[in-house]
Structure 1
Amino acid sequence: MSQYALITGARQGLGKAFAIELSKRKINTILVSRPNNGLNILCEELKEKYQIDSRYYETDLSEYKNVIDLGAWINLHFDIFILINNVGTGGTKKMTEAPIEYINKILNLNIVTTAVLTHQLLPNLLRQPKGYILNVASLAAYLPIGFKTVYPASKSFIYSFSRGLNQELENTNVSVSVVCPGPIKTNGDVIIRTGKGYFGKFMMLEPEVIANKCIRQLFEKKAEIIVNPMVWFLIKILPTWIKTPLMTKIARKEIS
């Protein structure tokens, strides 16, 4: 049976870049995204251009039952040797003005979906000669940020979960990597929100650049993938009492 790479949040941005990068390497893909998002068109393009098999599954992964259903469908029909947990959501709002649905969606999509889907597919990955998991966190995982609050906390979970699971699976055929990219040039709204000021533009990278580095280092079994070393180093060395107010000031501009 052929092996596949599963990518969540695959229709645009970094998820789409992952799909293209894997297709270039002649790896079959299963792409997951929300319904009515043109995912079938992307699959056909990948199959025609790269001569690989590409399947799609449309669902809202912020709903717990849909995550379980996806895992069951995958395990029934496919051998998975790569899992890329890319789906996620965020935003910038005052906590007092944030709807409860906004908070709940961030927690469900960023935390529950990543943990549960990994749990459901891990036995499948362990059956393969080699298995790879890539979880997409964020530079926000390293620091609290006012006006984002829940989002950085959710990405801290992904970072901790990934590093811990990688240790747990150390003597198996499955490795776990986590990447913490900064702002990504995905669409106009993201560029406008996060690209304000010199620091925002300095952090922003093209999704294709990130995808290429990630897949290369994923196969090298790097536990933590660094895509922007200079920004990563700055965030690591700055004390919290400096970087948290600084990043909060930048985030405040997104809602002004």
Structure 2
Amino acid sequence: MKEFALVTGARHGLGKSFAIELSKMKINTILVSRTNHGLQDFCEELKEKYKIDSRPYETDLSVYQNVIELANYINQNFNVFMLINNVGTGGTKKMSGADVDYINNIIKLNVVTTSVLTHQLLPNLLKQPAGYILNISSLAAYLPIGYKTVYPASKSFVYSFSRGLNQELKGTNVSVSVVCPGPIRTNDEVIKRVEKGFFGKFMILEPEFIAKKSIRKLFQKKADIVVNPMVWLLIMILPKWIKIPLMTKIAKKEIS
């Protein structure tokens, strides 16, 4: 029976780059995204170009029941040796002006979906000769940022969850990695927002670069994947009284 890698948020941006990179490596994929995003056509393109199997699954993973249904479907029909929890969301808003659904959606996608889908697919991964989990956190996980507030907190959860689970699974066939990229050049809206300041231009990376490096480090069972070492080092060495106000000032520019 064939083995598959499952990628969430796979139609655009970093998720799309993960799907392409895996296909280049002749790895079969199950790609998950919302409906009406051309996922079926994308899977057909990958199958034709790279001669692999690619299966589409369209659903809204911000809905808890949909996460459970996806996991049940996967466990009943596929051997999954890799899970890439890429789906997530964020944004920049004043807390006082943010809609409650905006806050709830960040928590549901970044925290609930990542942890629950991992939990539900872990028995499947443990049955394979070798299993890999890659969770997508953010450089924001290392520091609070005003005007983003909930997003860094959610990515701190992803980082802590990943490192803890990796330790828990020591001695098994499954390893867990987490990558913390900064801004990603995914679409015009994101690029316009993050490039308002000097640091945004300095930090932004191409999704293809992040995907390629992350998968390479994933197979090396690297627990903590750093894709922008200069920015990571800067965040690590700057004291909080400098970096938190600085990043908040940068974030404020995104909404001005």
The two structures have a TM-score, normalised by structure 2, of: 1.00
Distance 1:240 1:6 in 2: 37
Which string of whole-angstrom CA distances, capped at 9 and with x for unpartnered residues, describes residues 83-103 of structure 1? 000000000000010000000
Which residue number corresponds to residue 99 of structure 1?
99
Structure 2 equivalent of residue 116 of structure 1: 116
Match of 2:10 in 1: 10
CA distance in 1, matches of 2:7, 2:151: 21
Pairing 1:56-75 to 2, within 5 Å after superposition: 56-75=56-75
Q: CA deviation at 1:194?
A: 1.2
Aligned counterparts of 1:194 and 1:176: Cα–Cα separation in 2 = 29
Residue 188 of structure 1 and its aligned partner are, at CA, apart by 0.2
Deviates more, 1:197-206 or 1:112-121: 197-206
2:77 equivalent in structure 1: 77
> Please, which moves more after superposition, 115-124 or 187-196?
187-196
2:21 aligned partner: 21
Residue 235 of structure 1: how far off its partner (Å) = 0.4
- Give the AA of the match of 1:136: I
Distance of 2:123 and 2:195 partners within structure 1: 41
In structure 1, give the amino acid aligned to 2:143: L
Give the counterpart letter for 1:50 in structure 2.
Y
1:76-225 aligned within 5 A: 76-225=76-225
8 Å CA contact 2:197, 2:253 repeated in 1: no
Does residue 53 of the first structure (1) align with residue 48 of the second (2)? no
Q: Which aligned segments of 4 or more residues in structure 1 are displaced greater than 6 angstroms?
A: none
Would the aligned equivalents of 2:179 and 2:225 in 1 still touch at CA under 8 Å?
yes
**2:43 partner letter:** C
The Cα shift of 1:255 comes to 0.5
Distance 2:176 2:202 in 1: 28
Deviation sequence 1:158-183 (CA, Å, 0-9, x none):
00000000000011000000000000
Amino acid at match of 1:66: N
C-alpha distance in 2 between matches for 1:195 and 1:145: 17
CA drift at 1:19: 0.2
Per-residue deviation, residues 212-231 of structure 1 (Å, max 9, x unmatched): 00000000000000100000
Gap runs ≥5 in structure 2:
none
Three-state SS of the structure 2 residue aligned to 1:215 is helix
Match of 1:33 in 2: 33
Once residues 191 and 20 of structure 1 are traced to their aligned partners in structure 2, the CA distance between those partners, rounded to angstroms, is: 22
C-alpha distance in structure 1 between counterparts of 2:144 and 2:243, whole Å? 9
Asked if 1 retains the 8 angstrom alpha-carbon contact of 2:146 and 2:248, the reply is yes
**1:44 aligned residue:** 44
Please report how far the alpha carbon of residue 198 of structure 1 lies from its aligned counterpart in structure 2 after TM superposition: 1.4
Q: Separation in 2 of the partners of 1:194 and 1:5?
A: 31
Distance in structure 2 (CA, Å) of the matches to 1:195 and 1:176 = 32
Residue identity opposite 2:165 in structure 1: L
> Aligned to 2:82, what secondary structure does the other structure show?
strand
Q: CA deviation at 1:196?
A: 1.4
* Partner SS for 1:185: coil
Q: Deviations over 1:62-120 (max 9, x none)?
A: 00000000000000000000000000000000001000000000000000000000000
User: In 2, distance between residues paired with 1:75 and 1:248?
Assistant: 42
- 1:228 alignment counterpart: 228
How far apart, in 2, do the equivalents of 1:96 and 1:198 lie?
A: 27
SS in 1 for 2:134: strand
Q: Secondary structure at the match of 1:96?
A: helix
Please state how far the C-alpha of 1:20 moved relative to its aligned partner: 0.3
**TM-score scaled by length of structure 1:** 1.00
2: CA distance, partners of 1:139 / 1:192? 19
State whether residues 137 and 155 of structure 2, in contact with CA within 8 Å, keep that contact through their aligned partners in structure 1.
Answer: yes
